[in-house]
A and B are shown apart, each in its own frame.
Chain A
Amino acid sequence: MPSLKDLRNSIASAQSTRRITSAMKMVAAAKLRKAQSAAEAARPYAEKMEAMLGSLASGAVASNAPKLLAGTGKSDTHLIVVVSSDRGLCGGFNANLVRDVRVKVNALQAEGKTVKLITIGRKASGQLRSDLGSLFVETYDELSKPEPSFEGADTVVRKITNMFDNDEFDVCTIYYNKFVNALTQEVTPLQLIPFAPAENAGADEATDGAAPYEYEPNEGAILSALLPKNLSVQVFRTMLESFAAEQAARMTAMDNATSNAGDMIDSLTITYNRSRQAQITSELIEIISGAEAL
């Protein structure tokens, strides 16, 4: 039976925990709004680039398509880019991601393929280092601080394209948490290289019935300039999505923590009041029985 003082201490500590988690929840909610509007603001560029690439790729002759588009024709070495968060306390956000990546890595290794890893965010590197540390090519920590930037994405992409130019991998996939809504995040793989055009790329409407595009200086030159840019845009987009998803996950986790702390405070308060009453009763009994004995 804990003493009254112990109970008072536990109540006080649960209360301060609740204060912190509810503050964190509100901070996450504010950041989520910001992250969502950042993701929305970045959409026009990504969409227009996709449409442009769609109309270019459909016209590109398969034989002389750049390697970024067509791939190396092999799939022996896989590069997996993991986009995680820099900070914890966001529920299963990073755990789910890391688990899916592990499954994928094991599956690929079982097929006899070589796997290389690039991690973005401290959490993925921390959690994967123990068993997959030998596969790390590069880790980018605190890249999305205070929020994802295009330069940050560009740094990663420069590394990826460098590796690709040196034939260090054949297929590149990025794993990130997709922001579905404020309550749901989905771990999603996205293939970066070779480039897989989105199914609903605006190519059809742009080319159908319209005069064919002129290309200046020429198709190949534009395509080879556009593809690396598109890569940066894709990585930037995943970073933005992941950032929004992280804030949403943290908001949910902190909301749960706050209500758990509330439940705990309630049950501790009941115990505290009961033992206080029990103590008073037993003191009274002592006094009364003492008076009776006289």
Chain B
Amino acid sequence: MAETVKLDLVSPEKLLMSKDVEMAILPAAEGDMGVLPGHSPVISTVRPGTIAVFNGNTVEERIFVAGGFVEVNEEGCIILAETAIPVSELDAAAVQTEVSNLRDDVNAAKDDAEKADAEAALAIAEAKLEAVQAPAYS
């Protein structure tokens, strides 16, 4: 069996996943980051996007996260995410509607603060759409 790294995915409400994986690819702040066993310690923010979990040289699981933080140390890789949904559970049509609704919200926003809020939500929804339509690393 290949060497593995321990991957913990936690949301404020509960521990979502804790398992040993061969590699995980995360949407880190400045580009996607692949975490293999023995990765040097790093702390980074996470963009909205897909976490791809590799086991046996194939993607075993894809999880959508709406942003968060990641810490890699010698013990493993810890992802703190507020929203995390397995990509297989996302409904493309529903996400599509969400994106178009949010686009309307951005256009209809009255002030800057409202617009910024809507744009942030839109960025997340667009990342979600991309996760459904074009799964990374397939």
A contacts, CB < 8 Å to B: 38, 41-42, 44-46, 48-49, 51-52, 55-56, 149-150, 153, 206, 210-217, 221-222, 225-226, 229, 232-233, 236
B73 within 8 A of A: yes
Cβ-defined partner of A48 (8 Å) among B33, B41, B44, B80: B80
Contact A213 B41 (CB under 8 A): yes
Task: Give A28 to B42 CA distance when docked, in angstroms.
Answer: 44
Closest 3 A/B residue pairs (Cβ) = A41-B14, A216-B44, A150-B12
B105 within 8 A of A: no
Task: Report chain B residues within 8 Å CB of A217.
Answer: 29-30, 44-45
B28 within 8 A of A: yes
With A206-B73, A226-B69 as given contacts, are A45 and B42 in contact (CB-CB < 8 Å)?
A: no
Task: Report chain A residues within 8 Å CB of B80.
Answer: 45, 48-49, 52, 229
Task: Report chain A residues within 8 Å CB of B74.
Answer: 210-211
Cβ-defined partner of A52 (8 Å) among B15, B40, B71: B71
B contacts, CB < 8 Å to A: 8, 10-15, 28-30, 33, 40-45, 69, 71, 73-74, 78, 80, 82
Contact A42 B14 (CB under 8 A): yes
Contact B15 A44 (CB under 8 A): yes
Task: Report chain A residues within 8 Å CB of B45.
Answer: 216-217, 221-222, 225
Cβ-defined partner of A222 (8 Å) among B8, B10, B41, B44: B44
Task: Give A233 to B43 CA distance when docked, in angstroms.
Answer: 18
Given A45-B12, A216-B43, 16 other A-B contacts at CB below 8 A? A41-B13, A44-B14, A45-B14, A45-B80, A48-B10, A48-B78, A49-B80, A150-B13, A212-B41, A213-B43, A213-B73, A214-B42, A216-B42, A221-B29, A222-B44, A233-B12
Q: How many A-B residue pairs have CB under 8 A?
A: 87
Contact B69 A229 (CB under 8 A): yes
Contact A150 B82 (CB under 8 A): yes
Contact A216 B29 (CB under 8 A): yes
Contact B43 A38 (CB under 8 A): no
Task: Give A79 to B91 CA distance when docked, in angstroms.
Answer: 43
Task: Report chain A residues within 8 Å CB of B29.
Answer: 216-217, 221
Task: Report chain A residues within 8 Å CB of B71.
Answer: 48, 51-52, 213
Task: Give A206 to B82 CA distance when docked, in angstroms.
Answer: 23
Contact A44 B41 (CB under 8 A): no
Q: How far is the CB of B63 from chain A (nearest CB, A)?
A: 16
Contact A215 B78 (CB under 8 A): no
Task: Give A212 to B74 CA distance when docked, in angstroms.
Answer: 11
Contact A215 B69 (CB under 8 A): no
Contact B41 A236 (CB under 8 A): no
Task: Report chain A residues within 8 Å CB of B69.
Answer: 49, 52, 222, 225-226, 229
Subset of 18 A-B contacts with CB under 8 Å: A38-B13, A41-B13, A44-B10, A45-B14, A48-B78, A49-B69, A52-B80, A210-B41, A211-B40, A213-B42, A213-B71, A215-B42, A216-B33, A217-B30, A217-B45, A221-B45, A226-B69, A229-B82
Task: Give A221 to B43 CA distance when docked, in angstroms.
Answer: 11
For B44, give the chain A residue with the smallest CB separation: A216
Task: Give A217 to B78 CA distance when docked, in angstroms.
Answer: 17
Task: Report chain B residues within 8 Å CB of A51.
Answer: 71
For B11, give the chain A residue with the smallest CB separation: A45
For B78, give the chain A residue with the smallest CB separation: A48
Q: How far is the CB of A130 from chain B (nearest CB, A)?
A: 35
Task: Give A55 to B82 CA distance when docked, in angstroms.
Answer: 21
Task: Report chain A residues within 8 Å CB of B42.
Answer: 213-216
Task: Report chain B residues within 8 Å CB of A215.
Answer: 42-44
Task: Report chain B residues within 8 Å CB of A216.
Answer: 28-30, 33, 42-45
Task: Report chain B residues within 8 Å CB of A211.
Answer: 40-41, 74
For A215, give the chain B residue with the smallest CB separation: B43
